[in-house]
C-alpha cells in the first residue's frame, strides 16, 4: 500500500513577542510599511496581531509573550525582509527615525547587499536587496 508523505507547504507566520502591541503596530505598519492582516483578542488581555508585505503569504505576528515566558525585546529574530530598492528603503527608514545600520553592507557576489534594523523594543531584523 502506498504511503502519502505530508510536508511543510510554506512558512506561515514568524512570531516576535512584544510588550506593547500598539507600538508594534505603529512600528511595523507605519515605519516599515507592512500591512496589518489580523488583530484579534484572545485569552483575556492578549491580542494576536499579524503584519506582512502586501501580496505576501508569510506574516509576522507581534503579540504578548505567554505568561510562562514573559521576556520581550532585544531579540535576534532571524527574520529577513527583501526589497528591490535597498538604497531607497534604507534612506526611507532612516528618515522615519528607525534604528538602522549607518551603512548598507556590501560584501560582493553572491552575498546580497544588506543592513540590520531594530524595532521599538530592540528586536533585530535583516533587510536584503
Structural domain contains residue 6: no
pLDDT at 27 over 70: yes
Domain count of the fold of the chain: 1
> Residue 7 falls within a domain, yes or no?
no
Residue 80 in domain: yes
Alpha carbon distance 53, 59 (integer Å):
8
Q: What is the pLDDT of residue 50?
A: 98
Q: Please say if the pLDDT value at position 4 is more than 80.
A: no
d(CA 61, CA 67): 17
Residue-level pLDDT at 44: 79
Task: Extract the runs of DSSP E, i.e. beta strands, from 83-129.
Answer: 99-100, 114-118, 124-128
Q: How many residues does the chain have?
A: 129
Please say whether the beta carbons of 64 and 17 come within 8 A.
Answer: yes
Residue 4 lies in a domain: no
Q: Is residue 60 part of a domain?
A: yes
Question: Is 20 part of any domain?
Answer: yes
Which helix (H) or strand (E) is 95 found in, with range?
Answer: helix 86-95
On the question of pLDDT at 70 being above 80, the answer is no
Q: Is residue 2 part of a domain?
A: no
Residue 8 lies in a domain: no
- State residue 1's pLDDT score: 60
Residue 73's domain spans which residues? Answer: 13-128
Give the domain CATH number at 29. Answer: 3.10.180.10
The percentage of residues in the chain with a pLDDT greater than 90, rounded to a whole number, is 81
d(CA 119, CA 117): 7
pLDDT of residue 71: 87
Does residue 20 have a pLDDT over 80?
Answer: yes
Q: How high does pLDDT run on average in the chain?
A: 93
pTM of the model: 0.87
Whether the pLDDT of residue 95 is over 70: the answer is: yes
Cα–Cα dist 96/116, whole Å = 15
Whether 129 and 82 have beta carbons less than 8 Å apart is answered as yes
Amino acid at each position: 500500500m502506498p504511503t502519502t508523505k505530508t510536508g511543510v507547504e510554506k512558512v506561515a507566520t514568524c512570531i516576535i513577542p512584544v510588550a506593547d502591541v500598539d507600538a508594534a503596530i505603529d512600528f511595523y505598519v507605519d515605519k516599515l510599511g507592512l500591512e496589518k492582516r489580523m488583530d484579534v483578542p484572545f485569552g483575556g488581555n492578549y491580542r494576536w496581531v499579524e503584519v506582512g508585505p502586501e501580496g505576501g503569504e508569510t506574516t509576522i505576528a507581534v503579540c504578548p509573550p505567554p505568561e510562562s515566558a514573559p521576556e520581550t525585546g532585544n531579540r535576534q529574530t532571524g527574520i529577513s525582509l527583501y526589497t528591490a530598492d535597498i538604497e531607497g528603503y534604507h534612506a526611507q527608514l532612516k528618515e522615519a527615525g528607525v534604528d538602522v545600520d549607518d551603512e548598507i553592507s556590501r560584501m560582493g557576489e553572491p552575498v546580497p547587499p544588506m543592513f540590520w534594523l531594530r524595532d521599538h523594543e530592540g528586536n533585530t531584523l535583516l533587510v536584503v536587496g
